[in-house]
Structure 1
């Protein structure tokens, strides 16, 4: 039955009952007596109450669909509204679910293209920084050294200071280029890249330790890049916003296959902070490889970012044969099970 006929018949039933009462035991005289007025008012209230209850019951599926529309998030796909009954509302719910699936697919496709273009642009900028700016600063350093060897002592000190400033700028350029294009990831693999990333973020105020389980399943190249970028963004957020002095980076197998990345700090936590562009970027990258990203509080405070990658095949990749030294994990705690907060 269509929504129109359902509402029409509900209202018609209420009105028919009211007419039957007026034709039967309820009568109205002129002028209206007090008792009759009270009966009419009570009957009107009863009709309005019955009509409201029937409408609420009849429009409940629309309210559920409206809530689903309001809470739909393309960065957290998979949630669908249950289709109940038949008719127009069921058809509308089915159409909405199909539209949501199409939008999620189109968003994943467009996000993949954007991120691929972003990575290509990062590689181009890193290459230009290395080849153009880096070589120019290197030439400046050599020229400053040559000039400093031929000038009087008072001027030589100033030239040495200029050399140090130029050398610091060259180191910064190289650091930016490494962040834009993680060459160690392409050359040595994910394990070495994570260790290099941890060393890069380790300062006198922040200590970063890595714990990598040996013999992990082999990851595809795009999955390795996603793991690296998520770890990079998590460490960047920790260094900038958390106020932490210690961070742990874990890479370990999941109980049912696959790999989990966990970045955990001892800072002040997320609190009520809104998700910024960095976290949205992590979620979009995660969707591209069918993984799960969970952000939350750590078991002892602070913030932890967990990336669960489904099983990506078995075997041992080149970096796994190199071994991981003494940074193995002794086991998997309760907070590391798939689906746990964080």
Structure 2
């Protein structure tokens, strides 16, 4: 039955009931309506309107449910679907909406996978160029400064030593940026060693990082290890730059048939602010490997949890 037919039948039923009441009840209206008759007519009209409103509310309830889901759905939190009840145009509309969400989530996952793959490839290229080109050039400059400083007179030698120190600091900074862009330790030594090195790097930057990395963890795919590393890196970066935290806990352990990463700081928390590009980027990465991500502010600070199930293909 179409939506138009349902609404028409509901209204017709209300009008028919009112006509039957007028025909087969002793209710009459004088040529000049009395007060009692006017009250009866107004009460009957109010009852008709209330009955009509209730019936229409019941008939249009599926559309109201669909509207609520449409205003709250988020493609970064997939799986939201509306239950199909009954038949007719409303049920067909709900089915079409659920199918549209399936297509949108699949297309977003595909496009996000391509974008993140291209991003990782670009990071790899930039890190390689920083290490091979700029790093080698600065190393050559550093050696030349040392050679000149060894034969220069004392006043010039001090200035060359300062330039040598500045060049060495720049070289260390470039190497640090290259390591962040391309986590070579992740490819060479594995996830546990990469997280320990990441915690040590942020600890030397003025942030106290307490790490608890399990030694006997299930084997993860290469894509899953990269996602875990990037989420930990983003969590530590947010704690250092935005949360004004002093202490961060970094935990990686086996839990509930998978591996769980937890990054918890003692900073100022989210404070009801909308999610930024960093958190949405973490959600997109988690979706690519079928992992669950939660970002909460339990009292003080922020807690990022990533649960990676075992055996889910990337």
TM bin (shorter chain): over 0.9
Q: Is the 8 A contact 1:295 1:303 kept in 2?
A: yes
Q: Is the 8 A contact 1:218 1:312 kept in 2?
A: no
| More moved, 282-291 vs 302-311 | 302-311
Residue number in structure 2 paired with 1:91: 92
Residue number in structure 2 paired with 1:311: 310
Residue number in structure 2 paired with 1:329: none
Normalising by structure 1, we get a TM-score of 0.86
Residue number in structure 2 paired with 1:219: 220
Alignment deviations for residues 2-47 of structure 1 (CA, whole Å, 9 cap, x no partner)? 2211111111111122233344533334343333333222222221
Residue number in structure 2 paired with 1:286: 286
Give the SS at the match of 2:250. strand
Runs of 4+ in 1 over 4 A off after TM superposition: none
Structure 2: distance between partners of 1:312 and 1:199? 30
Unpaired stretches in structure 2, ≥5 consecutive residues: none
Structure 2: distance between partners of 1:278 and 1:138? 34
Alignment deviations for residues 172-224 of structure 1 (CA, whole Å, 9 cap, x no partner)? 11111110000111111111100110011003742112212222111110000
Alignment deviations for residues 135-175 of structure 1 (CA, whole Å, 9 cap, x no partner)? 22222222222232333322222222121112111111111
Residue number in structure 2 paired with 1:8: 8
Q: Per chain length, whose mean CA-contact separation is higher, i.e. which structure has more relative contact order (CA < 8 Å, sep 6+)? A: 1
Residue number in structure 2 paired with 1:232: 233
| More moved, 141-150 vs 112-121 | 141-150
Normalising by structure 2, we get a TM-score of 0.93
Structure 1: distance between partners of 2:206 and 2:131? 29
Structure 2: distance between partners of 1:169 and 1:38? 91
Structure 2: distance between partners of 1:118 and 1:141? 32
CA RMSD for the aligned pairs? 1.8
Q: In 2 relative to 1, CA 59–295 (structure 1 residues): closer, same or farther, beyond 3 Å? A: same
Residue number in structure 2 paired with 1:48: 49
Q: Is the 8 A contact 1:250 1:261 kept in 2?
A: yes
Structure 1: distance between partners of 2:69 and 2:162? 63
Residue number in structure 1 paired with 2:61: 60
Aligned residues: 311
Structure 2: distance between partners of 1:98 and 1:130? 48
| More moved, 269-278 vs 151-160 | 151-160
Give the SS at the match of 1:242. coil
